[in-house]
Chain A
Amino acid sequence: MDLTQNSLLKSIWHSIWRYFGLKEANKIGLWLVELNIDKEYGIIRFSHQTKETIISALSFVREIDGIKVILSPIKTSGTIRSIKSDN
């Protein structure tokens, strides 16, 4: 599957804009920390106040570049170290 960091971020931002608009989007501070295509997981970083917004936005992503996908959260943490240690 041809999933790139760009296309993934573009889809997430599109979802954020569509459902939450500018007012929420400017609070998020979204970063894609890691994307592992082989193991099919990714790690994103964002402001802790917008956790529910981000999870909702991820849930509404249904397609990336015409390919059906599900972005399902598996773990939330305050530090990158603890989230990476769970690999």
Chain B
Amino acid sequence: MIIKFIYFPLSLHNYKESSSSFEVILYLSYFESRLLANFDNFNDILEKLEFCEKLGIKNVILEPKNNIIAIPLELKSKIRLETKINTLYRINLRLNNSEDFKRRIKHFNNFSDILSIESLNKEVQLRAARDSRVDIVSFSNSELIKTLTPGVISLIKQNNSFLEFSLAPLMVKNKVNQSKNLRNLYRFIQLALKSKVNCIISGNFDDMYDFRHPRALISICYSLLGVPLDRAKKIFKINPISLLERVNRRNTNDFEPQVRLIKGGET
């Protein structure tokens, strides 16, 4: 078996990707489900997207670092003009308690982008897993992942929303922390696989030199986290599409399959 690879030294590489149609991108390529960018600085967004393009990433879900409630349409169209990458958007809420959850979630009725919730508080996690406005309950760092329970997984599964893990904790330099994070990720990913919940695994890397192509992340999932290859590919390819379909369904007010609207008084 032979593999060809590119390497990026400090100067950016000038490898060019051939452009593909939107349909091909959507159905044949993998997703980076979480890319943090500073939305106050357009150059930061462009720089990160350019870097992803050079790595060969075709679909990216962008998340603002700053506390923005909605991403302006002008910014979205500006980004679309500047990059070949298929960009989608998500908002992540870091919440401390239930009151905080109730207060902030009401701004997200009929929200057109993906909404994810992160919290160390178990009550908030349970509420988020039950709430149909929440698309993703995220356990993306080493502290959060330890708070995941089978109860939350079960509720996420019932509500058809998504559970998110991130591989960023594996990119720490400290060997002790890295092995602890690997162990935790392995434990909880196995728990999620066993319960057959909808799962998303994202990169969520902060440093640009930690960015990896989703295909490389699939290999990590398979070889180090014990995820079967077909499941790993599904997590990076099909599940993000299902997530987008869920968001679209919410916006078009369609009901879940087998759910019927009963008019008042009808029996």
Contacts and interface: CB of A to CB of B under 8 A. Distances in A.
B4 A86 contact: yes
Interface in B152-184: 171
A59 B219 contact: yes
Q: Is the interface of B mostly helix, strand, loop or mixed?
A: mixed
A26 interface: no
Contacts of A45: 1-3
Interface in B213-228: 213, 215-217, 219-220, 222-224
Given A56-B223, A72-B56, A48 B1 contact: yes
A84 to B, nearest CB: 8
B7 interface: yes
Interface in A43-87: 43-48, 50-56, 58-60, 62, 67-80, 83, 86
A18 to B, nearest CB: 8
A14 B82 CA distance: 39
Given A3-B7, A40-B7, A72 B213 contact: yes
Given A52-B229, A70-B209, A40 B1 contact: no
A1 interface: yes
B172 to A, nearest CB: 11
Given A52-B229, A54-B3, A62-B171, A40 B219 contact: no
Contact of B5 (A44, A60, A77): A44
A44 B210 contact: no
Nearest to B54: A72
A40 B91 CA distance: 36
Given A43-B2, A45-B1, A69-B209, 13 more contacts: A41-B6, A41-B7, A45-B3, A46-B1, A47-B1, A56-B223, A58-B5, A72-B213, A72-B216, A75-B3, A75-B4, A76-B1, A76-B3
Interface of A: 1, 3, 8, 19-20, 33, 40-48, 50-56, 58-60, 62, 67-80, 83, 86
15 contacts: A45-B2, A45-B3, A51-B1, A56-B220, A56-B223, A58-B216, A62-B209, A67-B9, A71-B6, A72-B212, A73-B216, A75-B3, A80-B2, A83-B3, A83-B4
